[in-house]
Structure 1
Amino acid sequence: MESSPLDRNALEAVARLFAVLAEPTRLAILQCLKGGPRAVSELVNELEAKQANVSKQLGILYAAGLLARERDGNLVRYSIAESMIFELCELVCGKLRRDAERRLEALGGEDKPRK
């Protein structure tokens, strides 16, 4: 089934989502949260990053609708709100894997003796 072309507003929304995912710390946060909800302090420890940076990146992911948060007193726990993000990551990782395999295959082909 073919989807119809996106209008300018939809294209801009897609570009904004990809821009959110274009930062390595945000991707690392998503990867940590794949294992379940985490408090900010847990993410800081797991990522070995500064608290201010982790909080900033969490805010961006939350504003993009990718994360949910729950407050328990002073503790704030973040979790994945949109699980499709992992499907998207699998698609991208699959492409990168295929690219690497092609490069290895090409290198191996050059090393083989010619008849």
Structure 2
Amino acid sequence: MEQMIGSDAPIEKVRVFELAAELFGVLATPMRLRILSALCDKEKSVSQLLQEIQTTQPNLSQHLHLLHRAGVLARRKEGTQVIYRVQSEKVVALCRIVCTQIAKELDAPGAVPDTERMSPRPGD
């Protein structure tokens, strides 16, 4: 894993891993991944997101706030509406790669070699 980062300074490596873990923590709920998926192609208001994602308005707002605070989403006001959009296309690309791979594994469990799997096998 340490070959993924270029710095040789141990303290800098620790910081890289801390920040990566923080980002993964922000993305570690299915609701937040669903929100990112809903915003991949275009910005949407909270009411539009509520129509797409089955949850309560307070729950959605809490997740949107956390994603915004982490820098994953940007927001703007338009009258009384709050409009959200993806701030970090790299985060979306990361999520897309992981979710696409896991979807392939679920569709054809035996077709993906163990060395290429991202999700645990059922029962593991």
Report the structure number with the largest CA radius of gyration: 1
> What's the TM-score, normalizing by structure 1?
0.79
Give the Å deviation of 1:92. Answer: 1.1
Distance 1:17 1:44, change over 3 A: same
Say what the alpha-carbon RMSD is for the aligned residues.
Answer: 2.4
Of 65, 72, 79 in structure 1, the residue corresponding to residue 71 of structure 2 is 65
Please, which runs of 5 or more residues in structure 2 have no aligned partner?
113-124
Runs of 4+ in 1 over 6 A off after TM superposition: none
* Count, aligned residues: 106
Distance 1:51 1:3, change over 3 A: same
Of 16, 37, 58 in structure 2, the residue corresponding to residue 52 of structure 1 is 58
Give the Å deviation of 1:9. Answer: 1.8
Question: Equivalent residue of 1:7, what SS?
Answer: helix
Given that 2:105 and 2:111 are in contact with CA atoms closer than 8 Å, whether structure 1 keeps it comes out as no
Q: What is the identity, as a one-letter code, of the residue corresponding to 1:12?
A: E
Say whether 1:93 aligns with 2:95.
no
Give the Å deviation of 1:31. Answer: 0.7
Q: Distance in 1 between matches of 2:102 and 2:46?
A: 30
Please, which runs of 5 or more residues in structure 1 have no aligned partner?
107-115
| % identity of equivalent residues | 32
